[in-house]
Amino acid sequence: MNTVKLTRNAAHALAQVLFIGFFVFPIIWIFMMSLKNFRDIISYPPKFLFSPTLQNYRETIQGAEGTLRAGELPEYVRFLLNSLIISGGAVCLAVLLGIPAAYALARGGLPWRKHIAFTFLSFRFAPELMVILPMYLIYTQIGLYDTYVGMILSHQLICLPLVIWIMMSFFQDVPIEIEEAARIDGASILLTLRAVILPISGPGIASAMIIAFIFSWNNLIFGLVLAGPNTRPVTMGILQAMTFDQIKWGLMAAAAMVSAVPGMIAATYLQRHITRGLTMGAVR
């Protein structure tokens, strides 16, 4: 009996070590990379002991020496702000549009409900390449290219299906009687949504927002094609560490570390919600 227990505990410990090894080690390695100079990074065998430098972070945040123009924010800080505006704005807009739509889909008894919902989801799996060139053409013609509004609109392709789909499940989870009670109490559909349904689904909304935010934040292609120098997001900023002949690994690692901070804050703060949101309300 005891040996069985011992073996089982050992197996668990081993599984945890493997888990950490596989999922955490790369992060640690990237972090170490961000503290090395290029020579330490490329040296082989790999260096675990080295004299750390904050140069990469300094350069990431302040920009390379001599490139900062007076009165201008450092490039990478601008990328971060751009991403905050774009992803934050995209998520807010998606929630604003998506919640009423999700509610109508969940409770409106609309005909073809499932098909409409599926159509929304199907935009999630449209290959970006399919829409990106026509979108660029339209954007440049109507002046949305390289604007925050344009970027926020384009990110609806990422955020809106997610929000609608997740919120729909959460709304369906609210007991129908509560809603009936509100209707009999004389509340309009809007008041019911605002005063009754939304507060109950608060955690669902939070998780939908975080997930949409992470997906939006990590997106590359829209930023590559539809953003210009004024709205360039942080993913493109990280890629600036790639020159034509070499990748400045230290800079890239530092930039990636810095860019993960907002998501990390949001995720830590609302981690319970993230789990629930990912199941799209399937947890009862």
Return the residues of window 119-178 that contact another protein according to CB under 8 A: 119-138, 140-141, 145-146, 153, 156-157, 160, 164, 175, 177-178
Q: Does 209 bind another protein (CB under 8 A)?
A: no
* Whole-angstrom distance, CA of residue 105 vs CA of residue 116: 8
Q: Does 279 bind another protein (CB under 8 A)?
A: yes
**3-class secondary structure, 247:** strand
* Whole-angstrom distance, CA of residue 236 vs CA of residue 220: 7
Q: At closest approach, how far in Å is the CB of 89 from another protein? A: 14
Q: Does 3 bind another protein (CB under 8 A)?
A: no
Q: Which is nearer to another protein, 61 or 154 (CB)?
A: 154
Q: Does 50 bind another protein (CB under 8 A)?
A: no
Q: Are 61 and 258 in contact (CB under 8 A)?
A: yes
Q: Which is nearer to another protein, 157 or 206 (CB)?
A: 157
* Whole-angstrom distance, CA of residue 219 vs CA of residue 227: 12
Q: CA quadruple 241, 247, 250, 255: dihedral positive or negative?
A: positive
Q: Does 84 bind another protein (CB under 8 A)?
A: no
Q: Which of 61, 100, 147, 203 binds another protein (CB under 8 A)?
A: 100
Q: Does 247 bind another protein (CB under 8 A)?
A: yes
Q: Does 71 bind another protein (CB under 8 A)?
A: no
Task: Please calculate the CA angle 181-186-190 and round it to the nearest 5 degrees.
Answer: 90
Q: Does 249 bind another protein (CB under 8 A)?
A: yes
Question: Can the peptide bond before residue 46 be classed as cis, meaning omega within 30 degrees of 0?
Answer: no
Q: At closest approach, how far in Å is the CB of 77 from another protein? A: 16
Q: At closest approach, how far in Å is the CB of 166 from another protein? A: 11
Binding track, positions 9-38, relative to another protein; x by CB under 8 A: ---x--xx--xx-xxx-xx-xx--x---xx
Kindly report each contact of residues 134-141 with a partner whose C-beta sits within 8 Å and lies 24 or more positions away, as own/partner: 135/225, 135/226, 136/225, 136/226, 139/226
